[in-house]
Each structure stands twice: as structure tokens, then as C-alpha cells.
Amino acid sequence: MMLLKKYYYGDYGEIEGGVSSNKSETEFPLWEVFIRSKQGLDHKHVGSLHAADVAMAVENARDVYTRRMEGVSIWVVESKHIHASNPDEAESLYEPSMDKIYRHPTFYNLPDEVGHM
């Protein structure tokens, strides 16, 4: 029997090696699904599903997430390939942008005569 390692969406991937679950050696791998709702928009994460391979993942994604014409394009990515930032480190991770309010247009006071800028 082949061994499938189990990962969960939002795991840190290689940092912690994912969460392996010994109880589910026969379970299909988990995939994350991204849907482009219409031409010109980004693909957006909509959820996840289990599938044995790419073809099954795309077909299942169509059946599960686009039953009402919600999409024109589907991406599937095996969940174990997703690497996420650690919420416990959020403070230090985003700290550099905290004190740079001059990056926002409202930081600059200009006379009204300038008009819309």
C-alpha cells in the first residue's frame, strides 16, 4: 500500500514537514482549488478536496465548486505544496510597514487648487 502523507491547508510545509496523519494511509491527497470567476479577474481560493490525481482533482473541482457557472478557469494545487506564513510571527513579519504612513497618498497635504490627484 502506498503511503500518502497528509497535509492541511495553511500548514507550513517544509518548515514543520506538514502534519502527517497515520490514520489515513489510503486517503487521496488533499488539493486546494482556485477559481477564476470571469475573464480578467484573479483566481481565488474557494476550498479544497481529495483526489487521486490532477485529472480527478480538476473534474471534482468542477463538480463541487462550479455547479452554477461560478468559474471559467480552475487551478488545483496539492495542499502540501502551499507554504504559508506563521500567524504567531505576524507582528514581526508585518512590523516594517507599520511606521511608513508616507506610503499612503493621504499623508500629503496639498492645496485644493491642485484638484484631483
Partner 1 sequence: MEINFENLFLSKIDKEIKIEPKDWMPEKYRQTNIRQISQHAHSEIVGMLPEGAWITRAPTLKRKAILLAKVQDEAGHGLYLYSAAETLNISRDEMTEQLLTGKAKYSSIFNYPSLTWADMGAIGWLVDGAAILNQVMLCRTSYGPYARAMVRICKEESFHQRQGFEILLVLSQGTKEQKAMCQDAINRWWWPSLMMFGPTDSESTNSDQSMKWKIKRKTNDELRQQFVDMAVQQIKVLNMTLPDADLKWNEERKHYDFGAINWDEFWQVVKGNGPCNKERLNAKNKAWNDGAWVREAAVAYAEKKKKREQIKVA
Give the residues lining the site for partner 1 (CB under 8 A). 2, 6, 8-11, 19, 21, 23-24, 26-28, 30, 46-50, 52-53, 56, 63-64, 67-68, 84, 86-88
Torsion angle, CA of 15/25/60/85, rounded to 10 degrees? -10
Identify which of residues 98 and 117 has a Cβ nearer to partner 1 in the complex. 98
Torsion angle, CA of 57/64/13/28, rounded to 10 degrees? -50
Identify which of residues 42 and 113 has a Cβ nearer to partner 1 in the complex. 42
65: closest CA among 91, 35, 32, 44? 35
User: Least CB distance from residue 8 to partner 1, whole Å?
Assistant: 6
User: What single-letter amino acid sits at 18?
Assistant: G
User: Least CB distance from residue 74 to partner 1, whole Å?
Assistant: 15
